[in-house]
Amino acid sequence: MMSHPIYRVRSFQVDAPYTLRIQFDDDSERVISFEPILAGELYGPLRDLSLFNQVSIDPEIHTLVWPNGTDFDPATLHDWPLYEKELITRAKKWERSAA
C-alpha cells in the first residue's frame, strides 16, 4: 500500500487578486494564483472576487474552503506545480463546454 504525506493548511494570506500565500504544517509555503483554473460549475463562481476572498480554513479537514462548497485537497495545494497544468487544461475544457 502506498502512503502519501498528509498535509494541513496552517494559515494563508491574500497576496493579490485570486492569489493566496499558503503555509502548511510542514513549514513549507506556496503562492498560488487560482485565476487560470476558475471555470466550470465549482470553480467558476470564484471569479467573483468578493466570493473568492471569503476563503477560510476548514477546522476539520485543514484545507482551504469557500462558502459555495469549493475546496482543494491540501496535498494538491502543497504540491501545486505537479497538478497546475492538468487543472488549467480541465478549466479550459469547462470553459469551452459552457460556451
pLDDT tens digits, one per residue of 11-38: 999 999 999 999 999 999 999 999 999 9
Q: Per residue of the chain (99 residues), what is the pLDDT tens digit?
A: 556 678 999 999 999 999 999 999 999 999 999 999 999 988 999 999 999 999 999 999 999 999 999 999 999 999 999 999 999 999 999 888 766
Tell if the pTM clears 0.75, that is, is over it: yes
CATH for the stretch 9-98: 3.30.2020
Helix ranges (DSSP H) in 1-79: 40-43, 49-52, 74-78
User: Would you give the DSSP letter of residue 37?
Assistant: G
Instruction: List the chain domain ranges.
Output: 9-98
